[in-house]
A and B are shown apart, each in its own frame.
Chain A
Amino acid sequence: MSVIQPLRPKEVSGLFVFPGKWEIEYEYAAGRVLTEFFKKLKEGKIVGSRCPSCKRVLMPPRAFCERCMVETSELVEVKDEGVLLNFIIVYRKFYGLPDPPYAIGLVKLDGADEPMLHFIGGVDLSTPERALQVLRPGIRVKAVWSETRTGAITDIKYFAPVAGEK
Chain B
Amino acid sequence: MGRTMILGGCVTEMRDPEPKNEAFYMLPFRAAKCVLDSYSLDPGDIDFVVSTGYDIVDGRMISNMYSGMASGGFLKYESRIADDGTLALAYADALIRSYEGELGLVVGYAAREVDLSLASLQTLDPFVYRPVGINYIVQFAMQASAYLNQFRLLSKWDELASTIVVGDRRAASLNPRAHLKGGLTREELAREDYIVWPLRKSMVSPMTRGAVALLVGDESAARQLMLDTGVEVKSIRWFTDSYYFGFNKQLTMILPLARAAREAYVEANVSNPLKEIDFYEVSDVTPAHYMMELEALGLSKIGGSSRLVESGEVGPDSPIIVNRSGGSLSTDPYPAGGLLKVYEAYLQLTGKAGPVQIKGSLRRGLVHGYSYISGFMGQTHSVVILEGG
Is A32 in contact with B21, judged by CB distance below 8 angstroms? yes
B285 within 8 A of A: no
Check A66/B70 contact, CB under 8 A, given A27-B113, A29-B21.
yes
Stretch in contact with the other chain, from A17-25, A44-52, A96-104, A106-114: A17-25
Is A63 in contact with B26, judged by CB distance below 8 angstroms? yes
Is A24 in contact with B113, judged by CB distance below 8 angstroms? no
Check A66/B74 contact, CB under 8 A, given A18-B126, A24-B59.
yes
Is A22 in contact with B32, judged by CB distance below 8 angstroms? no
What's the Cα separation between A44 and B142 when bound, in Å?
55
Is B113 in contact with A28, judged by CB distance below 8 angstroms? yes
**Residues in A neighbouring B111, C-beta threshold 8 A:** 29
Check A20/B23 contact, CB under 8 A, given A26-B59, A69-B32.
no
Stretch in contact with the other chain, from B114-122, B185-193, B233-241: B114-122
| Chain A positions 1-52 with a Cβ under 8 Å from a chain B Cβ | 4, 7, 18, 20, 22, 24-32, 34
B247 within 8 A of A: no
Is B119 in contact with A24, judged by CB distance below 8 angstroms? yes
What's the Cα separation between A65 and B74 when bound, in Å?
10
Partner of A69 from the list B24, B33, B114 (CB cut-off 8 Å) is: B33
**Residues in B neighbouring A4, C-beta threshold 8 A:** 131-133
A68 to chain B, nearest CB (A): 7
A92 within 8 A of B: no
- Return the CB mask of B29-69 against A: 1 if under 8 Å, else 0: 10011001000000100000000000010010000000001
- Return the CB mask of A66-85 against B: 1 if under 8 Å, else 0: 11111100000000000000
Is B22 in contact with A31, judged by CB distance below 8 angstroms? yes
In the complex, given contacts A31-B22, A69-B33, A70-B33, what are 9 additional A-B residue pairs having Cβ atoms less than 8 angstroms apart?
A7-B131, A24-B59, A24-B119, A25-B114, A29-B21, A34-B23, A63-B23, A69-B74, A71-B33
What's the Cα separation between A24 and B70 when bound, in Å?
25
Is B72 in contact with A29, judged by CB distance below 8 angstroms? no
Check A69/B72 contact, CB under 8 A, given A18-B127, A22-B122.
yes
Check A24/B127 contact, CB under 8 A, given A31-B21, A63-B22.
no
B108 to chain A, nearest CB (A): 18
Partner of A29 from the list B20, B43, B132 (CB cut-off 8 Å) is: B20
Is A67 in contact with B70, judged by CB distance below 8 angstroms? no
Pairs across A and B, CB under 8 Å, 20 listed: A4-B131, A4-B133, A24-B56, A24-B59, A24-B118, A25-B114, A26-B59, A27-B113, A28-B59, A29-B24, A29-B111, A29-B113, A31-B21, A31-B23, A32-B21, A34-B23, A64-B33, A64-B70, A67-B74, A69-B43
| Binding site secondary structure of chain A | loop
Is B43 in contact with A68, judged by CB distance below 8 angstroms? yes
**Residues in A neighbouring B131, C-beta threshold 8 A:** 4, 7
**Residues in A neighbouring B22, C-beta threshold 8 A:** 29, 31-32, 63
What's the Cα separation between A64 and B22 when bound, in Å?
12
**Residues in B neighbouring A32, C-beta threshold 8 A:** 21-22
Is A66 in contact with B132, judged by CB distance below 8 angstroms? no
What's the Cα separation between A4 and B69 when bound, in Å?
43
Is A69 in contact with B59, judged by CB distance below 8 angstroms? no
**Residues in B neighbouring A25, C-beta threshold 8 A:** 114-115
Smallest CB-CB separation from B132: which chain A residue?
A4
**Residues in B neighbouring A69, C-beta threshold 8 A:** 29, 32-33, 36, 43, 72, 74
**Residues in A neighbouring B26, C-beta threshold 8 A:** 31, 63-64
The 4 A-B pairs with the shortest beta carbon distances in the complex, nearest first, are A26-B59, A29-B20, A31-B22, A66-B69
- Return the CB mask of A102-146 against B: 1 if under 8 Å, else 0: 000000000000000000000000000000000000000000000
What's the Cα separation between A67 and B115 when bound, in Å?
33
What's the Cα separation between A70 and B23 when bound, in Å?
16
**Residues in A neighbouring B32, C-beta threshold 8 A:** 69
**Residues in B neighbouring A28, C-beta threshold 8 A:** 23-24, 59, 113
B161 to chain A, nearest CB (A): 27
**Residues in B neighbouring A64, C-beta threshold 8 A:** 26, 29, 33, 70
What's the Cα separation between A71 and B36 when bound, in Å?
13
What's the Cα separation between A106 and B145 when bound, in Å?
57
Smallest CB-CB separation from B122: which chain A residue?
A22
Most buried by B among A25, A66, A67: A66
Most buried by A among B26, B70, B127: B26
**Residues in A neighbouring B118, C-beta threshold 8 A:** 24
What's the Cα separation between A71 and B29 when bound, in Å?
9
**Residues in B neighbouring A68, C-beta threshold 8 A:** 43
Smallest CB-CB separation from B130: which chain A residue?
A20
What's the Cα separation between A29 and B122 when bound, in Å?
22
A44 to chain B, nearest CB (A): 24
| Chain B positions 5-27 with a Cβ under 8 Å from a chain A Cβ | 20-24, 26
- Return the CB mask of B89-102 against A: 1 if under 8 Å, else 0: 00000000000000
Smallest CB-CB separation from B127: which chain A residue?
A18
Is A63 in contact with B29, judged by CB distance below 8 angstroms? yes
What's the Cα separation between A71 and B34 when bound, in Å?
12
Is B29 in contact with A27, judged by CB distance below 8 angstroms? no
Is B74 in contact with A24, judged by CB distance below 8 angstroms? no
